[in-house]
Amino acid sequence: MSRAPSDEREARETRPDGDRHSLLRLLVEGSRVLEKRLHEGLRVAGYGDVRPTHFAVFRYLKPGGSRVTELAEEAGMTQQSMGELVDYLERRGYVERRPDPHDRRARIVLPTEAGRRGLAVGSEVLVEAETALAKCMGEGRLEKLVGSLEELVTLLVELDPGRAGSAHKR
């Protein structure tokens, strides 16, 4: 006899010892599964050279461009590491560096046409994932979950003792 979907969800929500998984673990595992799905969708569409580690560049890239220092701060990584990611994507034609119109000494990172096409593909893959989730758990529950996660991020930022002008602005 097969188990009902709600029974399967209940079984996944708790560990064998009856305790639930930590919030951090659940968030990381959910993110990992979505990133895997995103990577596969990009690979199938011809963007297989963009790996999950590169998502940090596109995740925080502002529409008008961003400096590497801003991207690094938003992603919580060193400028050197972010610079290496940007270099990789630039060599493959997904981003380009241009003079910052507000400070000609600085340079900003912008998506190229190929980068914008990849972003569009990524957006489609994520919409498909959210649509599938809405079908499984119901539109209302998904929207409630998204709202709760937005609130969680806001609260965590506010409660961060070392936040001095935190990077979260969404």
Nearest to 142 by CA among 153, 152, 124, 130: 130
Q: Per residue in 63-120, pLDDT tens?
A: 899 999 999 999 999 999 999 999 999 999 999 999 999 898 999 999 999 999 999 9
Q: Is residue 33 part of a domain?
A: yes
Q: Is residue 45 part of a domain?
A: yes
Range of the domain at 66: 22-159
Q: Is residue 144 part of a domain?
A: yes
Q: Is residue 16 part of a domain?
A: no
Averaged pLDDT for residues 139-149: 97
Q: Is residue 62 part of a domain?
A: yes
Q: Is residue 169 part of a domain?
A: no
Q: Is residue 64 part of a domain?
A: yes
pTM (whole model) above 0.85: no
Q: Is residue 125 part of a domain?
A: yes
CATH number for the domain spanning 88: value is 1.10.10.10
Burial 10-26 (b: 16+ CB within 10 A, else e): eeeeeeeeeeeeeeeee
pLDDT at residue 10 tops 90: no
Total of domains in the chain:
1
Nearest to 74 by CA among 157, 159, 161: 157
Nearest to 38 by CA among 125, 109, 113, 120: 125
